[in-house]
Homo-oligomer: A and B are copies of this chain.
């Protein structure tokens, strides 16, 4: 993917038509990915997720799960027992997504030092104040 810029256009990307946006809207949230990862090993209960995902609030867990469910990425199964038992499980489509995300992770893993260093350099050059706070 390396065509050169003709210098002309730049009608670039339309946010609405752009599938990248769609994915990211679905995945980019602070918690979505963590839920996908946490649930990738099989069915998992609400409280397990709550305890497993450091720092998530009950509210956000619920909201995020609802959205994932709405998009057909997780299924929600209520076992009518007392006390109630609700299990969440990834759908096949979500498992695919999880795999795809793995690629992104690899990229991050692979380039984390590069980025960290780039930041350090940038900060040193553009915001020296930050160094001696």
Query: Which residues of A pack against B, CB within 8 Å?
Result: 1-6, 8-15, 18-24, 26-29, 33-34, 37-38, 40-44, 48-49, 51-55, 69-73, 93, 95-105, 107-109, 111-112, 114-115, 117-119, 122-123, 126
Contact = CB atoms under 8 A, between A and B. Distances in A.
12 contacts: A3-B41, A4-B41, A10-B38, A10-B44, A12-B53, A12-B54, A14-B54, A18-B37, A20-B101, A71-B119, A72-B115, A96-B111
A34 B103 CA distance: 20
A9 B51 CA distance: 8
B70 A123 contact: yes
Number of copies: 2
A49 B14 CA distance: 13
Contacts of A21: 33-34
Contacts of A93: 111, 114-115
Given A1-B55, A5-B44, A23-B107, 17 more contacts: A2-B55, A2-B95, A5-B41, A5-B43, A6-B51, A12-B37, A13-B34, A15-B54, A22-B115, A23-B108, A24-B27, A28-B28, A69-B122, A70-B118, A93-B111, A96-B111, A97-B107
